[in-house]
Amino acid sequence: MSVEQALIARSGNKCELCGSEHDLSVFEVAPSDGSEEQAVLVCGTCKAQMEDPSTLDANHWRCLNDSMWSPTPAVQVLSYRMLHALRAEGWPQDLLDMMYLDDETKAWADAGLASDDEDTVPTKDSNGTILNEGDDVTLIKDLDVKGANFTAKRGTLVKNIHLTDNPLHIEGKVNGTQIVLVSAFLKKA
Protein backbone atom coordinates (compact mmCIF):
# COMPACT_ATOMS: atom_id res chain seq x y z
CA MET A 1 0.00 0.00 0.00
CA SER A 2 1.41 3.40 -0.98
CA VAL A 3 1.73 6.30 1.46
CA GLU A 4 -1.10 8.13 -0.34
CA GLN A 5 -3.42 5.11 -0.12
CA ALA A 6 -2.62 4.71 3.58
CA LEU A 7 -3.38 8.39 4.22
CA ILE A 8 -6.65 8.19 2.28
CA ALA A 9 -7.68 5.21 4.41
CA ARG A 10 -6.62 6.96 7.65
CA SER A 11 -8.39 10.25 6.83
CA GLY A 12 -11.51 8.93 5.13
CA ASN A 13 -10.47 10.74 1.92
CA LYS A 14 -10.63 14.19 3.58
CA CYS A 15 -8.09 16.89 4.36
CA GLU A 16 -6.78 16.01 7.83
CA LEU A 17 -6.64 19.69 8.76
CA CYS A 18 -9.82 21.31 7.39
CA GLY A 19 -11.97 18.38 6.28
CA SER A 20 -12.17 19.39 2.60
CA GLU A 21 -12.70 16.55 0.11
CA HIS A 22 -11.23 18.33 -2.94
CA ASP A 23 -7.72 18.61 -4.43
CA LEU A 24 -6.09 16.28 -1.88
CA SER A 25 -2.38 15.48 -1.83
CA VAL A 26 0.30 14.12 0.49
CA PHE A 27 2.18 16.68 2.61
CA GLU A 28 5.32 15.47 4.36
CA VAL A 29 5.81 16.98 7.82
CA ALA A 30 9.49 17.94 8.05
CA PRO A 31 11.78 16.50 9.16
CA SER A 32 10.35 13.41 7.52
CA ASP A 33 11.52 9.94 6.51
CA GLY A 34 8.75 9.67 3.89
CA SER A 35 6.58 7.30 5.93
CA GLU A 36 2.84 7.63 6.40
CA GLU A 37 3.40 8.39 10.11
CA GLN A 38 5.24 11.58 9.09
CA ALA A 39 2.82 12.72 6.40
CA VAL A 40 -0.65 14.23 6.27
CA LEU A 41 -3.34 14.29 3.56
CA VAL A 42 -4.16 17.97 2.88
CA CYS A 43 -6.27 19.95 0.45
CA GLY A 44 -4.85 22.42 -2.07
CA THR A 45 -5.88 25.44 0.03
CA CYS A 46 -4.10 24.22 3.17
CA LYS A 47 -1.02 23.13 1.21
CA ALA A 48 -0.69 26.44 -0.67
CA GLN A 49 -0.92 28.46 2.54
CA MET A 50 1.58 26.24 4.38
CA GLU A 51 4.07 26.51 1.51
CA ASP A 52 3.65 30.31 1.16
CA PRO A 53 3.00 31.90 4.58
CA SER A 54 2.39 35.31 2.97
CA THR A 55 -0.98 33.94 1.73
CA LEU A 56 -2.26 32.86 5.17
CA ASP A 57 -5.99 33.35 5.64
CA ALA A 58 -6.57 33.23 9.41
CA ASN A 59 -10.27 32.40 9.04
CA HIS A 60 -9.49 29.28 7.00
CA TRP A 61 -7.35 27.99 9.87
CA ARG A 62 -10.15 28.09 12.45
CA CYS A 63 -10.49 24.42 11.49
CA LEU A 64 -7.44 23.80 13.71
CA ASN A 65 -9.80 24.02 16.68
CA ASP A 66 -10.84 20.48 15.72
CA SER A 67 -7.76 19.04 13.99
CA MET A 68 -5.42 19.88 16.90
CA TRP A 69 -7.15 17.08 18.86
CA SER A 70 -6.35 14.45 16.22
CA PRO A 71 -4.73 11.28 17.63
CA THR A 72 -2.26 11.37 14.70
CA PRO A 73 1.06 12.99 15.71
CA ALA A 74 1.73 14.41 12.21
CA VAL A 75 -1.62 16.24 12.27
CA GLN A 76 -0.90 17.51 15.79
CA VAL A 77 2.50 18.82 14.65
CA LEU A 78 1.04 20.68 11.65
CA SER A 79 -1.77 22.10 13.81
CA TYR A 80 0.76 23.33 16.36
CA ARG A 81 2.97 24.92 13.70
CA MET A 82 0.06 26.68 12.00
CA LEU A 83 -1.33 27.95 15.31
CA HIS A 84 2.17 29.19 16.15
CA ALA A 85 2.39 31.01 12.80
CA LEU A 86 -1.01 32.66 13.39
CA ARG A 87 -0.61 33.45 17.12
CA ALA A 88 -0.57 37.23 16.48
CA GLU A 89 -4.28 36.93 15.57
CA GLY A 90 -5.12 36.32 19.26
CA TRP A 91 -7.41 33.27 19.10
CA PRO A 92 -4.62 30.82 18.07
CA GLN A 93 -2.73 31.58 21.30
CA ASP A 94 -5.76 30.38 23.29
CA LEU A 95 -5.73 27.10 21.34
CA LEU A 96 -1.96 26.73 21.82
CA ASP A 97 -2.47 27.18 25.57
CA MET A 98 -4.99 24.30 25.56
CA MET A 99 -3.05 22.00 23.25
CA TYR A 100 -1.20 19.03 24.72
CA LEU A 101 1.66 17.31 22.90
CA ASP A 102 3.77 14.51 24.36
CA ASP A 103 7.49 15.33 24.62
CA GLU A 104 8.51 13.57 21.41
CA THR A 105 5.74 15.20 19.34
CA LYS A 106 6.48 18.64 20.87
CA ALA A 107 10.17 18.31 19.96
CA TRP A 108 9.16 17.38 16.39
CA ALA A 109 6.78 20.35 16.19
CA ASP A 110 9.39 22.78 17.55
CA ALA A 111 12.04 21.45 15.16
CA GLY A 112 10.05 22.73 12.19
CA LEU A 113 9.36 26.22 13.52
CA ALA A 114 11.25 29.08 11.93
CA SER A 115 13.96 30.31 14.25
CA ASP A 116 12.96 33.93 14.73
CA ASP A 117 14.89 34.29 17.98
CA GLU A 118 18.05 35.61 16.34
CA ASP A 119 16.76 39.04 15.34
CA THR A 120 14.24 39.70 18.11
CA VAL A 121 14.86 41.83 21.17
CA PRO A 122 14.75 39.76 24.37
CA THR A 123 12.23 40.55 27.11
CA LYS A 124 14.04 41.76 30.23
CA ASP A 125 12.89 42.37 33.80
CA SER A 126 13.62 45.50 35.88
CA ASN A 127 17.13 44.23 36.66
CA GLY A 128 18.00 43.45 33.04
CA THR A 129 17.62 39.68 33.44
CA ILE A 130 16.28 38.00 30.29
CA LEU A 131 12.81 36.47 30.78
CA ASN A 132 11.85 33.24 29.04
CA GLU A 133 8.52 31.59 28.31
CA GLY A 134 7.27 29.83 31.46
CA ASP A 135 9.39 31.80 33.95
CA ASP A 136 8.00 32.97 37.30
CA VAL A 137 8.20 36.69 38.12
CA THR A 138 7.40 38.93 41.09
CA LEU A 139 5.80 42.38 40.91
CA ILE A 140 8.04 45.15 42.26
CA LYS A 141 5.26 47.76 42.39
CA ASP A 142 1.50 47.91 43.08
CA LEU A 143 -0.27 47.96 39.70
CA ASP A 144 -3.87 49.02 39.05
CA VAL A 145 -5.41 46.49 36.63
CA LYS A 146 -7.64 48.33 34.18
CA GLY A 147 -10.98 46.67 33.53
CA ALA A 148 -10.60 44.11 36.31
CA ASN A 149 -11.22 46.42 39.30
CA PHE A 150 -8.35 45.23 41.46
CA THR A 151 -4.79 46.18 42.30
CA ALA A 152 -1.99 43.69 41.78
CA LYS A 153 0.08 44.12 44.94
CA ARG A 154 3.85 44.40 45.12
CA GLY A 155 5.42 41.02 45.85
CA THR A 156 2.72 39.06 43.97
CA LEU A 157 4.19 35.98 42.27
CA VAL A 158 3.12 35.47 38.65
CA LYS A 159 3.82 31.91 37.55
CA ASN A 160 4.36 30.48 34.08
CA ILE A 161 4.45 33.76 32.11
CA HIS A 162 3.89 34.01 28.36
CA LEU A 163 6.06 36.27 26.23
CA THR A 164 4.35 38.57 23.75
CA ASP A 165 5.51 39.98 20.42
CA ASN A 166 6.33 43.20 22.29
CA PRO A 167 9.53 42.75 24.36
CA LEU A 168 8.27 45.33 26.87
CA HIS A 169 5.23 43.23 27.88
CA ILE A 170 4.50 39.74 29.20
CA GLU A 171 1.22 37.94 29.92
CA GLY A 172 0.43 36.19 33.16
CA LYS A 173 -2.36 35.33 35.59
CA VAL A 174 -2.91 37.50 38.66
CA ASN A 175 -5.89 36.71 40.91
CA GLY A 176 -7.08 34.20 38.29
CA THR A 177 -7.22 36.85 35.56
CA GLN A 178 -4.95 36.76 32.51
CA ILE A 179 -3.40 40.22 32.16
CA VAL A 180 -0.61 41.98 30.28
CA LEU A 181 2.19 43.28 32.50
CA VAL A 182 4.99 45.73 31.76
CA SER A 183 8.28 43.87 32.17
CA ALA A 184 9.91 46.94 33.78
CA PHE A 185 7.70 46.38 36.86
CA LEU A 186 8.78 42.74 37.32
CA LYS A 187 11.76 40.80 38.58
CA LYS A 188 12.55 37.19 37.83
CA ALA A 189 11.63 34.97 40.77
Domains and CATH numbers, the chain: 3-111 (no CATH), 137-188 (2.30.30.40)
When computed from its CA atoms, the radius of gyration of the chain, rounded to whole angstroms, is 20
Residue 61's nearest CA partner among 41, 44, 39, 45 is 45
Nearest-angstrom CA–CA distance, 85 and 165: 12
CA 79 to chain centre: 9
Whether residue 31 has a cis bond before it, omega within 30° of 0: yes
Please tell me the predicted confidence (pLDDT) of residue 118.
47
Please tell me the predicted confidence (pLDDT) of residue 117.
47
Nearest-angstrom CA–CA distance, 90 and 77: 20
pTM of the model: 0.60
Please tell me the predicted confidence (pLDDT) of residue 114.
64
Side-chain half-sphere exposure of 139, counting CA atoms within 13 A: 22
Nearest-angstrom CA–CA distance, 138 and 143: 12
Give the containing element (helix H, strand E) for 48. Answer: helix 44-51
Residue 88, pLDDT above cutoff 90: no
Q: What is the mean pLDDT of residues 147-168?
A: 89
Using CA atoms, how far residue 60 sits from 7, 18, 25, in Å, is 22, 8, 18
Using CA atoms, how far residue 178 sits from 5, 83, 171, in Å, is 45, 20, 7
Give the containing element (helix H, strand E) for 94. Answer: helix 91-98
pLDDT tens digit sequence for 101-145: 999 999 999 888 865 544 467 889 999 899 999 999 999 999 988
CB 94 within 8 A of CB 62: no
Nearest-angstrom CA–CA distance, 81 and 68: 10
Please tell me the predicted confidence (pLDDT) of residue 30.
87
Residue 108's nearest CA partner among 70, 80, 71, 88 is 80
Residue 152, pLDDT above cutoff 80: yes
pLDDT tens digit sequence for 17-39: 999 999 999 999 988 888 899 99
